[in-house]
A and B are shown apart, each in its own frame.
Chain A
């Protein structure tokens, strides 16, 4: 079945970087964009950006420009989200999600989420 499996939880110090992986199975990674969404504790969903795994092209939310890098390795069907210069307010669950053009680009498949805790 189609699924996205993310890497495990991370604990980082302020100023460090974190790299979250998202492995796709059941479909071809290059057939769809990959989006990243985060959710701080008790808060709503925040769209961070997307990558086109075929071209490597990216679009980032202005808030994360300069700190986020989204990449993919099509040979292992995996997308990555790297967030640098971490701050305490980056503590959140980070999700990868697949948009489906046949579903109005709604995000129809989600990873299980990766908890990132930023604490000194």
Chain B
């Protein structure tokens, strides 16, 4: 199984800050890396797929980068609605494992 390791597990930041969340796969997953945002009591929402491609309707302040085994989700200027938990997921092979999540909190 491919293990996905996210860091940090939690992050405290202010509105307007630039933040980055990293995700490392235990083996190469080509371009099959997705990012999700989840707010309390809600289903996750696909933000970015294939490393850097924004899902329709996602603001351009979100971006993804990386290759092979190391990936990053960046939010360029945090907005109040961005405080949530973020998960990476590999869709390269089954089981389609998720990272453990990064909780982004208001400082």
| Given A45-B87, A47-B95, A47-B96, CB of A104 within 8 Å of CB of B43 | no
Q: How many residues of B contact A (CB 8 A)?
A: 27
Complex partner residue of B94 from A44, A59, A103, A110, CB under 8 angstroms: A59
Contact A104 B34 (CB under 8 A): yes
Interface members, chain A 95-120 (any B CB < 8 Å): 95, 97, 99-100, 103-108, 110-113
A55 within 8 A of B: no
- Given the complex, which residues of B lie within 8 Å of A45, measured CB to CB? 36, 38, 44, 87, 89, 98, 101
How many angstroms between the C-alpha atoms of A45 and B38 in the bound complex? 10
How many angstroms between the C-alpha atoms of A97 and B34 in the bound complex? 14
A11 within 8 A of B: no
Return the CB mask of B66-107 against A: 1 if under 8 Å, else 0.
Answer: 000000000000000000000101010011111111000000
A interface bracket (residues with beta carbon within 8 Å of B): 20 to 34
Interface members, chain B 44-64 (any A CB < 8 Å): 44-46, 48-50, 53, 55
Contact B97 A47 (CB under 8 A): yes
Interface members, chain B 22-48 (any A CB < 8 Å): 31-34, 36, 38, 43-46, 48
Most chain A CB within a 10 A radius of its CB, from B43, B44, B87: B43
B17 within 8 A of A: no
Chain A residues engaging chain B, CB cutoff 8 angstroms = 35, 37, 44-47, 49-50, 59, 61-62, 95, 97, 99-100, 103-108, 110-113
Chain B residues engaging chain A, CB cutoff 8 angstroms = 1, 31-34, 36, 38, 43-46, 48-50, 53, 55, 87, 89, 91, 94-101
